[in-house]
Structure 1
Amino acid sequence: MTTNRFCVFCGSPPEKKNREHILPQWLLELTGDPKRVVNFGTNFKNGNAIRFDWSNFCVPACESCNTEFSDLEARAKAHVLKLVAREALSSIEYSDFMDWLDKVRVGIWIAYHFIQGNPTNIDPSFHIKTRICQKDRMVAIYPIAGDGVGLNAFGVESLVFHSQPSCFALRINDILILNMSSDYLFSARCGFPFPKSRYTTLDGDNPNLMHLNDFQITRRIKHPLLRKTIAKPSIHLYQPIIRRSSDDSFQSGYLGDYSRFDSYLAQHTMPPYPTGKGVLYFQHQDRVDPIFDIDQPIEFEDIKHSESKPMHELVKQVYEFQNYIYEKDEFRAQNKELLTSHMERKKALIRWNKHFISHYSRMSNV
């Protein structure tokens, strides 16, 4: 599966074009036969089912871009091997692992636009290089009963995901990794800067531009970091991100940070200050703990039988969180017909996702 349009990393016409495996070869080999044929959903242009082998799940990339990310891939392989063995990663390793999840999530998002015939008619405005470590992000890891071998990507065929690559899950053998990332998803509850007003304009001089206004900061941690119930995982980490800004009013060079030195942000971001990259916050059932030591090993927590959820419940969460994040977005337009059309489309995509949620809910009766 390829397209000649642009490099998945930088968005430019590929130079010395080669193929980027969205899910890398080492991961395919870890989880079975790399040439096994799998279902990639439906092509909305012709209505046909999309089936080909994992090893052909590729998109074009510049040779230099591919090389640039080879070190991240090597580190990600080491991280994943530890995780499937239930071994601890350090705080800084989990932050690195979330860089890789950003890469995979955005790469899959771009690839699915092509293989499913771009049903949402979106021309990607960002690519992997401009999206890694740019927005709040989290990871939850669930051990799966048994010792099965396999690889699945959940939520990536959703039309909500097509519109906004905010949440997906990867099953890698006997672990399930839930990953979310979106603008200011939980920064405010981590005590980080956040805009009181946030909306996207659909028309005007800068269509599809997000407007951020009236930044505030509480410097207080609130439990829970996400105000939506999530099944208890063994690893449950959040990382708030402050984006860079050229606005002189933000003296540190980061959005919402008005001072040259903020003691709270200095303590709660990874060194050396300012990096804009928050420390990791471990979400427990009864509290939130920031992890200040970047070398601290983070162990898998036990999940009691009463807290354990079946696989279909864990997968259902992906579509629920996609809707949860998508519903938060506010859109404005001078053209009222355009706004009405967009809102009807948004409602339709959310309803479409609810069919997935209903499907997985019915599995509890099987």
Structure 2
Amino acid sequence: MTSNRFCVFCGNLPDKKTREHILPQWLLELTGDPKRVVNFGTNFENGRTIRFDWSNFCVPACEICNTEYSNLESRAKPYVLKLLARDSLTSIEYVDFMDWMDKVRVGLWIQYHFIQGNPTNIQPSFHINTRIGQKDRMIAIYPLEGDGVGLNALGAESLIFHSQPSCMGLRINNILIMNMSSDFLFSGRCGFPFPKSCFTMLDGENPHMMHTSDFSVTRKIKHPLIRKQIFKPSIHLYQPIMSKSEDKRFQSGFLGDVSIFDSYLAKHTLSPYPSGKGILYFQHLDRVEPLYDINQPIEFESCTGIHSKPMYTLVQQIYEFQNFIYKKGKFLAEERELERNHEKRTKLLLKWNNNVIAHYSKRKNS
């Protein structure tokens, strides 16, 4: 199923239109029959369950855009094969893998926007090109018991994900990957600049634009990087990413960085300085470990005993973190009625997720 509205990568009308598999053909073949028919949630326009085969889960793309991302797709395959075998990737390979997860997450958001009838009544204002490696991001990789074969996009059908594609899960055979990305999600706790004031205006001269001010920087790492409990994964990586700015106050060209050279940021970002892209941080149970060597192999940690969780519990956690990130947002409006409507909308979106969370919680208690 495709839509002919715009290219998933650049957002323009497709030039020499091609079909882009957000979840690539090699991944479909790795996880079963590429033509298997699966459920993709509900079409909120007609209430029907959306069912079609994985091989037709496509979006339009410009030929040149599709070609540009083919190298990333080809690199992602050996990464996935190594993860399925519980082999190590280097720090810089995980950075590259996070780029692929950004592509998958934003691509799924756009695809579900089409196939579910735009239930939250939004018009995508960004596309894959403008979201890869642009915001704080993390991945948590969980081993699953057994040798099951299958592919699931988890949380991609939720109404919160429709409004804010900041958290989802991807089950690939015997691993589950939770991926999160959002503005200033943990930059401050990595010692990076962060705004004490951050809100989005719903109206005014630039509606839906984020406003940030009163930046601070501690240059200290705080444990844990996200102040919400997360089940222990085998791989638990965070990458703070600074946003570009043309404001002359920020001399490095990145929001919140007022100096031409900052020794802490130089040490904790990828070269060449200033890149704005942080090194990876491994979140352990008792500490945070910055990974300075980009060629350092990152081994799978054991998740046994009390740390071994069934898949339904891990899926529940995805919806809980969707709620967590969504509730961190602050929205204001010059028209009070707009604020009230947004508050009502927020309650409805959270209620939808809470019903899903309750469903998985009952399984735990049964």
Residue in structure 2 matched with residue 181 of structure 1 by the alignment: 181
Alignment partners' CA distance in 1, 2:351 and 2:221: 34
Per-residue CA deviation, residues 269-295 of structure 1 (Å, 9 max, x unaligned), is 011111111000000000000000000
Per-residue CA deviation, residues 171-223 of structure 1 (Å, 9 max, x unaligned), is 00000000000010000000001011000000111111100111110000000
Aligned partner of residue 306 in structure 2, secondary structure: coil
Residue in structure 2 matched with residue 120 of structure 1 by the alignment: 120
Alignment partners' CA distance in 1, 2:343 and 2:246: 32
Aligned partner of residue 306 in structure 1, secondary structure: helix
Alignment partners' CA distance in 1, 2:223 and 2:292: 18
Amino acid at match of 1:328: K
The structural deviation recorded for 1:303 is 1.5
Per-residue CA deviation, residues 43-102 of structure 1 (Å, 9 max, x unaligned), is 000111100000000000000000000000011111101100100000000000000000
Amino acid at match of 1:140: A
Question: Are 1:206 and 2:213 matched, yes or no?
Answer: no
Question: Are 1:317 and 2:312 matched, yes or no?
Answer: no
Alignment partners' CA distance in 1, 2:205 and 2:364: 50
Amino acid at match of 2:155: G
- Compute the RMSD of aligned alpha carbons: 0.6
Residue in structure 1 matched with residue 26 of structure 2 by the alignment: 26
The structural deviation recorded for 1:306 is 1.5
Residue in structure 1 matched with residue 249 of structure 2 by the alignment: 249
Question: Are 1:190 and 2:190 matched, yes or no?
Answer: yes
Residue in structure 1 matched with residue 5 of structure 2 by the alignment: 5
Residue in structure 2 matched with residue 82 of structure 1 by the alignment: 82
Alignment partners' CA distance in 2, 1:317 and 1:193: 28
Residue in structure 1 matched with residue 57 of structure 2 by the alignment: 57
Residue in structure 1 matched with residue 107 of structure 2 by the alignment: 107
> What are the ranges of 5 or more consecutive residues in structure 2 without an aligned counterpart?
none
Residue in structure 2 matched with residue 270 of structure 1 by the alignment: 270
Residue in structure 2 matched with residue 135 of structure 1 by the alignment: 135
> What are the ranges of 5 or more consecutive residues in structure 1 without an aligned counterpart?
none
Q: How does 1:266-345 map to 2 (within 5 A)?
A: 266-345=266-345
Question: Are 1:92 and 2:92 matched, yes or no?
Answer: yes
Alignment partners' CA distance in 2, 1:200 and 1:253: 22
Amino acid at match of 2:201: T
The structural deviation recorded for 1:246 is 1.0
Alignment partners' CA distance in 2, 1:290 and 1:329: 27
Per-residue CA deviation, residues 325-355 of structure 1 (Å, 9 max, x unaligned), is 0001000001111110011101110111000
The structural deviation recorded for 1:170 is 0.5
Per-residue CA deviation, residues 93-113 of structure 1 (Å, 9 max, x unaligned), is 000000000000000000001
Q: Deviating runs (4+, > 2 A) in structure 1? A: none
The structural deviation recorded for 1:365 is 3.3
Alignment partners' CA distance in 1, 2:60 and 2:307: 43
Alignment partners' CA distance in 1, 2:159 and 2:311: 22
Alignment partners' CA distance in 1, 2:352 and 2:39: 19
Q: Percent of aligned positions with the same letter in both sequences?
A: 71
Alignment partners' CA distance in 2, 1:75 and 1:112: 25
The structural deviation recorded for 1:245 is 1.0
Amino acid at match of 1:269: T
Alignment partners' CA distance in 2, 1:147 and 1:44: 35
Corresponding residue pairs, total? 366
Alignment partners' CA distance in 1, 2:306 and 2:44: 41
Alignment partners' CA distance in 1, 2:58 and 2:307: 38
Alignment partners' CA distance in 2, 1:280 and 1:2: 36
Aligned partner of residue 213 in structure 1, secondary structure: strand
Residue in structure 2 matched with residue 156 of structure 1 by the alignment: 156
Residue in structure 2 matched with residue 37 of structure 1 by the alignment: 37
The structural deviation recorded for 1:10 is 0.2
Amino acid at match of 1:45: E
Residue in structure 1 matched with residue 232 of structure 2 by the alignment: 232
Alignment partners' CA distance in 1, 2:294 and 2:347: 42
Aligned partner of residue 327 in structure 1, secondary structure: helix
Amino acid at match of 1:343: E
Alignment partners' CA distance in 2, 1:57 and 1:148: 22
Per-residue CA deviation, residues 91-136 of structure 1 (Å, 9 max, x unaligned), is 0000000000000000000000100000001100100000001110
Amino acid at match of 1:156: A
Alignment partners' CA distance in 1, 2:71 and 2:254: 27
Q: TM-score, normalised by structure 1?
A: 0.99
Amino acid at match of 2:110: I
Alignment partners' CA distance in 2, 1:114 and 1:216: 40
